[in-house]
Amino acid sequence: MDYRSSLLKRPVSSSSVRYSFLPAYPTSDNRRNILHLLFSNVQISQLSRQAVERRLEHGYHQSTFLTPINDHERLIFSLSRRWNISKEILEYNFQRVMSIINMMIKHRIHHFSTQYNQENLLEDHYSMALEFFLQIDIDTFYLKTCSYRGAIPESNVLQSIFCLTEPEGRYAMEKCNQISCCLCHPSYKTPTDHHHHHHRTIVQFGPNQQHLFINGYRSILNCPATCTTRNIIYVLTCPCHQVDYIGETSLSLDNRLAYHRTHGNRIVQEFLLGPIITSRIQQELKSFEVLVKDSMKLYQHSTHCSIAIQWFLDENPEYWPFIPIQNQNDQNNEALSEVSKSIVESNQFQYANDVPSPPPNYHFTHSQKIEIDRFFHEKKYLNSPNQKLDLYEAAIVAILPTNASAPLRRFIEALLITHTETKLNTEGHLDKLLSSNTTEHNLPQSSSSSSSSSSSSSSEWCQNLSRPSNMTFTS
Ligand SMILES: [Zn+2]
Ligand SMILES: [Zn+2]
């Protein structure tokens, strides 16, 4: 083992598919499955003796009397000097980048019926892709060579793509202070007591920005950033801190989150009201885009997560009647009498009978049902929930050059999704792409996707919610 990460919760073994998406030395023997990783973001004191020797002998730029004979060689020669890394490493990893991009293009054309020119990188974007690839390391993303958008490349004696010392945050995330900005000025209610603290800032402003993903992977911000910085890769973390999601956008974080908020709040609302009532109060049929959003793990998770539901209810207390109440042990008889009562009163309610049935051992009280009907008679759903409520914490992970294209963003996004193992991304896991290519016929299709979200019990979303005293519905 050349290096053992102290960050990652599960160490990556050399047989892992993730190795195929990490930068490596050309001395690697692909056939015998021996890959000598580059470890560009690992400080020298953390490496094994062999890895240190490899870096010192083969890692750095070496001057030569040869002159480049074509554009590609000229590019490799100049990058080798600029990043102080050997030409052979650059050439070898350039090929790796190309093959990953080609694999992604093939998959996307097949899966989304897009055209080749929508998916391919512009010629001069390959060196940006390579710059990122070399510095998205086994447990840390640290683009120390970044020189655009106000970044100052690290200056040490032996300036290089290889870390000599422990990488650390260098750039700040600053408030933009515009009145219309939802990150600087969240427009939801001020917290009233201690456990609502989390509501205030979903973005951590301040210097030395870095982010620790759920699986332990670390990213270090590569440029100065504000809420208005565009062309970014960002991460959303559920307040339960069990799951996360990586996205890419040409927009700013604030504008992009507006989109996530709209769908997130709508989907929690529809989950609580249930499909029958949702279609009854909806003005128009759902578009294809909306249906796609409905099935995204990112939004589905919020409806299965009691901490996200608590955030939603703290902001929108008019939805408390839709939260079923747990049966007391001595209440089983009462629950039974509820059933017989409900047969009698089934004509009494216009709406309450059509909400989703409560999970086992939960029920709706009579006074809840009255409140549910009142909710619809008063058309409270017309101006609630608050569409500006955030259901996820957010951070910028990487900032791309201003002219970066969507395919370049998707390539960097996919590398980060793969190494951070985000549970809420459906697309982007390159390791799954590779393993499904090779063993397509003997893998059960749904093994990975279904286990992650549905392993919890069906009542978990309404467990341990803390109700305000005026929302305790007695039967
Ligand atoms: Zn702002
Ligand atoms: Zn959660």
Q: What is the per-residue pLDDT for 442?
A: 42
Range of the domain at 227: 171-187+200-250
| Cα–ligand 1 centroid distance for 72 (angstroms) | 42
Q: What is the per-residue pLDDT for 372?
A: 96
Residue 383 neighbours by CB under 8 Å, 6+ apart: none
Span 141-162, mean pLDDT? 84
Ligand nearest to the Cα of 184, by number: 1
Which residues neighbour ligand 1 (ion) by CB within 5 Å?
Answer: 176, 181, 183-184, 227
Q: Residue 129, Cα to own-chain centre: how many angstroms?
A: 20
Residue 239 neighbours by CB under 8 Å, 6+ apart: 198, 305, 307, 308, 311, 391, 392, 393
| Cα–ligand 2 centroid distance for 388 (angstroms) | 18
Instruction: Determine the Cα–Cα distance for residues 48 and 421; give it in Å rounded to an integer.
Output: 26
Q: Is there a domain that residue 205 lies in?
A: yes
Instruction: Determine the Cα–Cα distance for residues 461 and 311; give it in Å rounded to an integer.
Output: 12
Q: Is there a domain that residue 55 lies in?
A: no
Q: Is there a domain that residue 224 lies in?
A: yes
Which residues neighbour ligand 2 (ion) by CB within 5 Å?
Answer: 238, 240, 305
| Cα–ligand 2 centroid distance for 465 (angstroms) | 13
Q: What is the per-residue pLDDT for 444?
A: 41
Instruction: Determine the Cα–Cα distance for residues 207 and 450; give it in Å rounded to an integer.
Output: 39
Of the listed ranges 129-133, 264-268, 377-381, 446-450, the least confidently predicted one is 446-450
Ligand nearest to the Cα of 306, by number: 2
- Helices 87-112 and 126-135: crossing angle in degrees, nearest 10, is 110
| Cα–ligand 2 centroid distance for 202 (angstroms) | 14
Q: Is there a domain that residue 229 lies in?
A: yes
Q: What is the per-residue pLDDT for 436?
A: 67
Q: Which residue has the higher pLDDT, 419 or 68?
A: 419
| Cα–ligand 1 centroid distance for 225 (angstroms) | 11
| Cα–ligand 1 centroid distance for 172 (angstroms) | 13
pLDDT tens column, 232-274? 999 999 999 999 999 999 999 999 999 999 999 999 999 999 9
Ligand nearest to the Cα of 243, by number: 2
Q: Is there a domain that residue 208 lies in?
A: yes
| Cα–ligand 2 centroid distance for 325 (angstroms) | 21
Q: Which residue has the higher pLDDT, 213 or 282?
A: 213
Q: Is there a domain that residue 364 lies in?
A: no
| Cα–ligand 1 centroid distance for 309 (angstroms) | 26
Of the listed ranges 53-57, 154-158, 372-376, 408-412, the least confidently predicted one is 154-158
Identify the DSSP state of 382: G
| Cα–ligand 2 centroid distance for 238 (angstroms) | 5
Q: Is there a domain that residue 274 lies in?
A: no
Q: Is there a domain that residue 209 lies in?
A: yes
pLDDT tens column, 70-79? 999 999 999 9
Give the predicted TM-score (pTM) of the model: 0.91
pLDDT tens column, 6-43? 999 998 988 889 999 999 999 877 677 788 999 999 99
| Cα–ligand 2 centroid distance for 361 (angstroms) | 22
Structural domain count, the chain: 1
Alpha-helical runs (H) found in 28-160: 49-54, 71-83, 87-112, 116-119, 126-135
Span 399-423, mean pLDDT? 97
